[in-house]
């Protein structure tokens, strides 16, 4: 059978309520709440003051959640920003998106990509090609759609 490892060395085996509270680094009222919530009972020695097994307190310590986790659950997740800061963030994001759009602008897209951009089925893309609304270019066996024609359809609808 394995021995449970003590969290803190140098404490007696049986602790008074005051010592048990200090062992957990809380006040006596908080200790009573924790012991009750985690169902850790004192030893009955038929004396006026209850005694707590140090090994029970060690097991209790290992079961307790981190206080930072409990504190974070009740902390509001709101950040207040002034209008100037919000405008600065918006303009920075807009300029970054504009730069990406111009750098990654493709002249030709596949039929599958064109159908995703327009939100239609591939058969509709083939109908638009045969109707002359979408221009194509062939590269090897691949048929690609002109991005300018897709932009024109998006603007006109």
The two tokens of residue 124 are 């509709």
Mind listing the pLDDT tens digit for each residue in 61-88?
A: 887 776 655 555 566 667 788 899 889 9
Mind listing the pLDDT tens digit for each residue in 114-128?
A: 999 899 999 999 999
The predicted model scores a pTM of 0.36
β-pairing, 142-146 vs 136-139, is antiparallel
Nearest to 55 by CA among 91, 90, 22, 9: 9
pLDDT at 136 over 90: yes
Say if CB 145 and CB 109 are below 8 A apart.
Answer: yes
Q: Mention every residue, 6+ apart, whose C-beta is less than 8 A from residue 142.
A: 110
Q: Mention every residue, 6+ apart, whose C-beta is less than 8 A from residue 139.
A: 108
């Amino acid at each position: 059978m394995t021995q449970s490892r003590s969290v803190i060395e140098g404490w007696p085996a049986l602790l008074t309520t005051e010592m048990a509270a200090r062992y957990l680094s809380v006040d006596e009222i908080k200790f009573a709440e924790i012991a009750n919530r985690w169902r850790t009972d004192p030893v009955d020695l038929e004396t006026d003051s209850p005694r707590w097994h140090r090994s029970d307190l060690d097991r209790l310590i290992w079961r307790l959640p981190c206080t930072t986790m409990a504190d974070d659950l009740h902390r509001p997740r709101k950040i207040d920003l002034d209008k100037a800061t919000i405008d600065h963030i918006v303009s920075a994001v807009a300029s970054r998106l504009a730069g990406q759009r111009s750098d990654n602008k493709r002249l030709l897209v596949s039929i599958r990509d064109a159908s995703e951009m327009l939100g239609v089925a591939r058969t509709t893309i083939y109908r638009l090609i045969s109707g002359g609304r979408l221009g194509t270019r062939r590269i090897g066996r691949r048929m690609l759609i002109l991005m300018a024609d897709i932009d024109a359809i998006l603007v006109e609808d």
